[in-house]
Homo-oligomer: A and B are copies of this chain.
Amino acid sequence: MKAKRIFQIVAAVTIMGGNITGTASVLESEEAFSRLLPIPQKVMVGEGRFRIEKSFAVKVSGQPDDRLYGAASRFLRRLDQRTGLFLPQDYVEKGETLESVGLEISVKRPGEVKLGEDETYFLSVEAGIVRLSAETDLGAMHGLETLLQLLSADEQGYYFPVSRIEDSPRFPWRGLMIDSARHFMPLDLIKRNLDGMAAVKMNVMHWHLTEDQGFRAEIKSFPKLHEMGSDGMYYTQDEMREIVAYAADRGIRVYPEFDVPGHATAWLVGHPELASLPGPYEIERGWGIFDPTLDPTKERVYEVLEAVFTEMAAIFPDEYFHIGGDENEGHHWDQAEHIQAFMKERGIADNHELQSFFNKRLLTILEKLDKKMVGWDEILQPTMPTNIMIHSWRGRDSMEAAAKQGYASILSNGYYIDLMQPASEHYLVDPLPSDIDLDEEERARVYGGEATMWSEHVTLETVDSRIWPRTAAIAERLWSDASIRDVEDMYRRLDTIALQLEELGLTHIKNRDMMMRRLAGGYDIEALRVLADVVEPLKIYRRNADLSYRSFSPYTLLPDVAVADAKDARRFRALVDAYLETGHAADKAAVESMLNVWRTNHASFARLADRSPALREALPLSEALRDLATLGLAAMGGESPDAAPVLERAREPVAKVELQVVDGVERLLEK
Residues 540-568 of chain A, each 1 if its beta carbon lies under 8 Å from chain B, else 0: 00000000101111111100000000000
A186 interfacial by beta-carbon distance below 8 Å: yes
Q: Contact mask A142-175 → B, CB, 8 Å, 1/0?
A: 0000000000010101100000000000000000
Bound CA span A557–B80, Å: 10
A77 at the interface (CB under 8 A from B): yes
A667 at the interface (CB under 8 A from B): no
Q: Find A285's partner among B90, B505, B550 (CB 8 Å cutoff).
A: B90
Q: Flag whether A11 is at the interface (Cβ < 8 A).
A: no
Instruction: Choose among A511, A522, A552 the residue with the greatest number of B CB atoms under 10 Å from its CB.
Output: A552
Write the nearest CB–CB distance from A545 to chain B, whole angstroms: 16
Asked if A509 and B499 make an inter-chain contact with CB atoms under 8 angstroms apart, the answer reads no
Residue of chain B at shortest CB distance from A548? B86
Contact with B along A327-363 (1 / 0, CB 8 A): 0000000000000000000000000000000000000
- Residues of B near A460 (CB, < 8 A) are 505
User: Which of B77, B82, B86, B188 contacts A521, CB < 8 Å?
Assistant: B82
For chain A, residues 278 to 320, give those with C-beta under 8 angstroms from any C-beta of chain B.
Answer: 285
Option from B81, B507, B614 in Cβ contact (under 8 Å) with A84: B614
* Cβ of A150 to closest chain B Cβ, rounded Å: 13
Is A513 an interface residue, CB under 8 A from the partner? yes
Report the bound CA distance from A66 to B238 in whole Å: 26
Per the bound structure, the CA–CA distance linking A503 and B517 in Å amounts to 10
Encode A591-612 as 1/0 by CB contact (under 8 A) with B: 0000000000000000000111
- Copies of this chain in the oligomer: 2
A502 within 8 A of B: yes
Q: Told that A81-B554, A509-B517 touch, could you supply 16 new A-B pairs with CB distance under 8 A?
A: A81-B556, A82-B518, A82-B521, A82-B556, A82-B614, A83-B613, A84-B519, A84-B556, A86-B554, A187-B188, A496-B522, A499-B518, A499-B522, A502-B514, A502-B517, A510-B513
Residue picked from A82, A84, A157, A509, most chain B C-beta under 10 Å: A84
Give a binary string over A487-528; 1 marks a CB under 8 Å from any B CB, 0 the rest: 000000000100110110101011101100111011000000
What is the bound-complex CA distance between A610 and B157, given in angstroms? Answer: 9
Is A85 interfacial (CB-CB < 8 Å)?
yes
- Nearest Cβ distance between residue A568 and chain B, in whole angstroms? 15
How far apart are the CA atoms of A82 and B517 in the complex, in Å?
Answer: 10
Residues of B near A519 (CB, < 8 A) are: 84
Which A positions have Cβ atoms within 8 angstroms of B? Answer: 77, 80-86, 90-91, 153, 155, 157-158, 186-188, 231, 236, 238, 285, 460, 496, 499-500, 502-503, 505, 507, 509-511, 513-514, 517-519, 521-522, 548, 550-557, 610-614, 617
CB distance from A182 to the nearest CB of B (A): 14
A-B contact pairs, 26 of them (CB 8 A): A77-B552, A80-B552, A81-B518, A81-B555, A82-B521, A82-B556, A83-B613, A83-B614, A84-B519, A84-B554, A84-B557, A84-B613, A86-B548, A86-B554, A90-B550, A90-B552, A91-B231, A153-B521, A153-B613, A186-B188, A187-B187, A187-B188, A502-B518, A503-B514, A509-B514, A509-B517
A80/B502 in contact, CB under 8 A: no
Nearest CB on B from A400, distance (A): 41
For A518, the chain B residues whose CB sits under 8 A away are 81-82, 499, 502-503
Rounded to whole angstroms, the CA-CA distance of A274 and B343 in the bound complex is 72
> In the complex, A84 Cα to B617 Cα: how many Å?
10
Question: Once bound together, how far apart are the Cα atoms of A553 and B84, in whole Å?
Answer: 8
Q: Across the interface, which residues of B come within 8 angstroms of A188, CB to CB?
A: 186-188
A317 to B108, alpha carbons, bound, how many Å?
Answer: 51
How far apart are the CA atoms of A87 and B611 in the complex, in Å? Answer: 20
In the complex, what residue of chain B is closest to A615 when comparing beta carbons? B84
* B contact residues around A514 at 8 Å (CB): 502-503, 509-510
Q: In the bound complex, how far is the Cα of B505 from the Cα of A521, in angstroms?
A: 16
Provided the pairs A188-B187, A554-B84, A554-B86 are in contact, do residues A612 and B153 lie with their beta carbons within 8 angstroms? Answer: yes
Query: Known: A502-B518, A511-B510. Contact between A158 and B80, CB under 8 A?
Result: no
Query: Which of B499, B503, B554 is A85 in contact with, Cβ under 8 Å?
Result: B554
List chain B residues, Cβ under 8 A from A511. Answer: 510
CA distance A91 to B283 in the complex (A): 12
Q: CA A351 – CA B216 in complex, angstroms? A: 55
Q: Which 8 A-B pairs have the closest CB atoms?
A: A84-B614, A510-B510, A188-B188, A81-B556, A80-B554, A157-B613, A81-B554, A510-B514
**Chain B, residue nearest A558 (CB):** B84
Question: Please, how many angstroms separate the alpha-carbon atoms of A157 and B611 in the complex?
Answer: 9
Q: Distance (Å) between the CB of A564 and the closest chain B CB?
A: 21
A613-B554 contact given A510-B513, A511-B510, CB 8 Å threshold: no
Give CA–CA (A80, B86) in the complex, Å: 45
Query: A502's closest neighbor in chain B, by CB?
Result: B514
Chain B proximity of A526: nearest CB distance (Å): 14
How distant is A183 from chain B, measured CB to nearest CB, in Å? 12
Q: What residue of chain B has the Cβ atom nearest to residue A611's Cβ? A: B153
Q: In the complex, what distance in Å separates the CA atom of A236 from the CA atom of B502? A: 28
Give Cα distance in the complex from A492 to B521, angstroms: 15
Neighbouring B residues of A513 by C-beta, 8 Å? 510, 513
Chain B residue nearest to A77 (CB atoms) is B552
Contacts of A285 in B (CB 8 A): 90
A552 / chain B contacts, CB cutoff of 8 Å: 77, 80, 90
Q: Which residues of B contact A617 (CB under 8 A)?
A: 84
The listed residue (B90, B505, B510, B557) touching A551 by CB distance below 8 A is B90
Residues in B with CB closer than 8 Å to A502 are: 514, 517-518
Closest B-chain residue to A186, C-beta based? B188
Please give, as numbers and ranges, the residues of chain B lying within 8 Å of A91 by CB-CB distance. Answer: 231
Q: Roughly how many angstroms separate A175 CA and B53 CA in the complex, as a whole number?
A: 44
Query: In the complex the two chains form, is A155's CB within 8 Å of B610's CB?
Result: yes
Task: Tell me the minimal C-beta distance from A201 to chain B in angstroms.
Answer: 20
Alpha-carbon distance between A238 and B511 when the two chains are bound, in angstroms: 30
Residues of B within 8 A of A610 (CB): 155
**CB neighbours of A187 from chain B (8 A):** 187-188
A192 and chain B: residue at smallest CB distance? B188
Find the B residue at minimum CB distance from A523. B499
The distance in angstroms between the C-alpha atoms of A613 and B517, with both chains bound, is 32
